[in-house]
Amino acid sequence: MADLVLQTVVKLLIPFIQMYGIFIIINGHLSPGGGFAGGTILGSSIILYALAFHVEDALAHYSRSRAKMMESAGVVAFALIGLFGIIRGGHFLANNIWGLGETGTLLSGGIILPITLAIGIKVASTMITLFFHLLEEKKL
């Protein structure tokens, strides 16, 4: 099942979808959105690719081991950033490690930006893994 129109439109559309997802993740502390919403959009772009092309093609771009690694990396990054607050003598996920910056700019909010990035990577990988696992189940 290879449809030229569908595949061309998907190829054109995927960069914009991924750009939108990354924008939502990075602006999570300034505007609506954040790690979960942006990560879902990022993951659904890969799912769209797997639907328009074959699943094997999508797995060649985003293999199972890489998805597993990204998923774990997101959780580990979240935990490490959280533990950094304890090391500095505060509580878990304590903010104001390297200064908060000017309100309203992109680099404000202290640890919120790296934490949102970690959540985004984790959620995107989880969505992709969920879809691939369900697709490869035996037919009942």
Partner 1 sequence: MSEFFHILLLSFLIVCAVAVARIKDLLSAVIIFAAYSLMMAVIWQQLSAPDIAMTEAAMGAGVTTLLLMVAVSKTRRQER
- The contact set with partner 1 (CB under 8 A) reads 24, 32-34, 36-37, 40-41, 43-44, 47, 51, 127, 130-131, 134-135, 137-140
Min dist. Cβ of residue 55 to partner 1 (A): 11
Closest CA to 129 of 75, 77, 78, 71: 71
Separation CA 93–CA 116 (nearest Å): 13
The residue among 44 and 118 lying less far from partner 1, judged by its C-beta, is 44
Name the nearest CA neighbour of 128 among 59, 76, 54, 35: 59
DSSP state of 87: H
Joined together, the tokens standing for residue 100 give: 């908060």
Q: Which residue's CB is nearer to partner 1, number 14 or number 80?
A: 14
Judged by beta carbon, residue 3 or residue 79, the one nearer partner 1 is 3
Residues 6+ apart with CB under 8 A from 71: 122, 125, 126, 129
Shortest Cβ distance from residue 91 to partner 1 (Å)?
A: 25
Smallest distance from partner 1 to CB 140, Å? 5
CB nearer to partner 1: pick between 37 and 70: 37
